[in-house]
Structure 1
C-alpha cells in the first residue's frame, strides 16, 4: 500500500466545482464563536458538495485568516451568506422551500439513523453555539430536530464534528 500524492487524487478544478451538482443541503451556523469550527464546516461542505453555508449572528465571515487556517480555501468555493439574525436565514430558506432541522437535543428529536430523506428534499441544518447550542427562538422556527446518538458520559460533540457526522450521513442518504 502506498500513500497517494495530491496529483493522483483526481480533484476537480474550481471551475468544475462550480458546475457540479450540489447536495441539496444548506448549513446554518447560529452564533458560532470559533473560527476553527467555521473553517472546518466550510472544508467539509466543500468535500461533500453542500449548496451553501449561512453565517449568522456572531459567526465570523471570510475573509478571515483563522477561518482560512482550517478551511484551506473552501471558504472561497462554498457559497456563503451572512445574516445578522439566524431567524432571517430560516425565514428565507423556508420561502425557498427548504425543510429546516436543528441539530439539538430536544423533545421528540429524530435520531440521525432514523432520519429519512427523499430524493427531492431540500434541507437546511442549523448548528448552534458551542456553549448554548441552537437558540430556542430558532428551534421554534424549525420543522424538527435531529439528534446524534451518543453513548458515553459526555452529552455533546464539538460543533464541527457534529456537522461532519450529519453532513456525511445525509450526503450518503441523498446519493446512495
Structure 2
C-alpha cells in the first residue's frame, strides 16, 4: 500500500499497464479513481490508452517525471503509469449470488481461510477470474485484505471478482449450506482431486499457507480433496494448490 500524506484520499496506488487499464475500464472508475499519473515524455499506445480512458471518465490525468513514478511505486515495474484510488470496496454475499444468476450458472464460490500473503491473494484472484469463480469470501481477521499489492498481482482481476469480507467463516459457511451450497475443503487424506465432480452450487475452502484449514472450518466441510504428490516436499504454495483445484473444477463444470 502506498500512502500520500498530502491527500488522505490518495491512500492506495495501482501501477502497471494491465492493472491501471482494468481499473479505468471498470464501471466504478469515475467514483474510485482520484488521479491518474503518466510518465512525462513517454509516447506509446499504452500511455495513449490510459489517457483516453481517464478522460472518458472525466478523471485528472497528470504527467509526472519517471523519477516520481519510480519513487511512489518503490521501484516497481510501473510501465509509465499509475493511479491513486480510494480503498477497494468489499462486496456483499448477495453480490456473489447475483453474479452467478446474471450468467445463469450455479454459484461457484472460493473461501480463503486466513490467507496472509497479499501476493497469494492476488494470484488467486487472477486464477479465480480465469475459471469463472463468482466470488471470494475472506475473514476480517488474520487475513490479508484488498491492497494495492493484491491489485497489482491480480493484473486487473480484482475489478471482476467480488470479494466479501466476513466476521465469522463458520457462520458464513452455515449460511451457504442453507442455500444448498456443497462445501469442499482440502486435507491430506481427502479424495483425489482428479475425481472431483464440481458441478452444481459449490464452495471450495483453501486454508492458510502454513496451517491449512482451521479445525472449526474443517468441521463444516462436506467433502475433502487431496492433491497427490510424489516429491520430497509434501505441500504446495497456496496459490498453486488453488490453481490446480480451480482448474479441475473448471474442467468438471464445463465438460
TM-score (norm 2): 0.58
- Distance (whole Å) between structure 1 residues aligned to residue 230 and residue 106 of structure 2: 29
- Distance (whole Å) between structure 2 residues aligned to residue 36 and residue 172 of structure 1: 25
Secondary structure in 2 aligned to 1:70?
helix
Give the match for residue 77 of structure 1. Answer: 160
Number of residue pairs the alignment of both structures matches: 158
8 Å Cα contact 2:192-2:226 kept in structure 1: yes
Give the match for residue 129 of structure 1. Answer: 208
Q: 1:117 aligns with which of 189, 194, 198?
A: 198
Alignment of 1:151-166 (within 5 A): 151-166=230-245
**Alignment pair present for 1:58 and 2:58:** no
Q: 2:188 aligns with which of 105, 127, 130?
A: 105
**Alignment pair present for 1:174 and 2:253:** yes
- Distance (whole Å) between structure 2 residues aligned to residue 80 and residue 99 of structure 1: 19
Structure with larger RCO (C-alpha < 8 A, sep 6+): 1
- Distance (whole Å) between structure 2 residues aligned to residue 25 and residue 66 of structure 1: 25
Q: Which runs of 5+ in 1 are unaligned?
A: 1-5, 7-12
**C-alpha distance 149-52 of structure 1, shift in aligned 2 (>3 A):** same
Secondary structure in 2 aligned to 1:169?
helix
Deviations 1:41-85 (A, max 9, x none): 1111111111110012322222x1111121122112101110122
Q: Which protein has the larger Cα radius of gyration, Structure 1 or Structure 2?
A: 2
**Cα drift, residue 20 of structure 1:** 4.4
Coordinate RMSD, CA, aligned: 2.0
Q: Which runs of 5+ in 2 are unaligned?
A: 1-17, 19-24, 28-98
TM-score (norm 1): 0.82
**Alignment pair present for 1:94 and 2:173:** no
8 Å Cα contact 2:196-2:248 kept in structure 1: no
Deviations 1:102-145 (A, max 9, x none): 12224xx1110122234xx1110100111110001111111011
8 Å Cα contact 1:22-1:49 kept in structure 2: no
